[in-house]
Structure 1
Amino acid sequence: MSDMQDYKSSLSNAESRKFETFSYLPAMNADQTRKQIQYIVNKGWNPSIEHTEPENASGSYWYMWKLPMFGETNVDTILAELENCHAAHPNNHVRLLGLDNYAQCAGASMVIYRGKTV
Structure 2
Amino acid sequence: MSAMQDYRSSLEDVNSRKFETFSYLPAMTPEQIRQQVEYIVGKGWNPAIEHTEPENAFDHYWYMWKLPMFGETDVEAILAEAEACHKAHPNNHVRLIGYDNYAQSQGAAMVVYRGKPV
TM bin (shorter chain):
over 0.9
Percent of aligned positions that are identical: 74
Q: Distance in 1 between matches of 2:21 and 2:112?
A: 12
Unaligned stretches of 5+ residues in structure 1: none
Tell me the residue number matched to 1:47. 47
Tell me the residue number matched to 1:90. 90
TM-score w.r.t. the length of structure 2 is 0.96
Unaligned stretches of 5+ residues in structure 2: none
Tell me, yes or no, if structure 1 residue 22 matches structure 2 residue 22: yes
TM-score w.r.t. the length of structure 1 is 0.96
Tell me the residue number matched to 2:103. 103
Structure 2 counterpart of 1:96, which letter? L
Residue 6 of structure 1: how far off its partner (Å): 1.4
Residue aligned with 2:106, SS: strand
Tell me the residue number matched to 1:5. 5
Regions of 4+ moved over 2 Å: none
Q: Distance in 1 between matches of 2:59 and 2:49?
A: 16
Residue aligned with 1:90, SS: coil
Residue 3 of structure 1: how far off its partner (Å): 2.2
Structure 1 counterpart of 2:34, which letter? R
Q: Distance in 2 between matches of 1:2 and 1:60?
A: 37
Q: Distance in 2 between matches of 1:24 and 1:45?
A: 24
Greater shift in the superposed pair: 55-64 or 15-24: 55-64
Q: Distance in 2 between matches of 1:99 and 1:78?
A: 14
Structure 1 counterpart of 2:44, which letter? G
Computed over aligned residues only, the root mean square deviation of the Cα atoms, in angstroms, reads 1.1
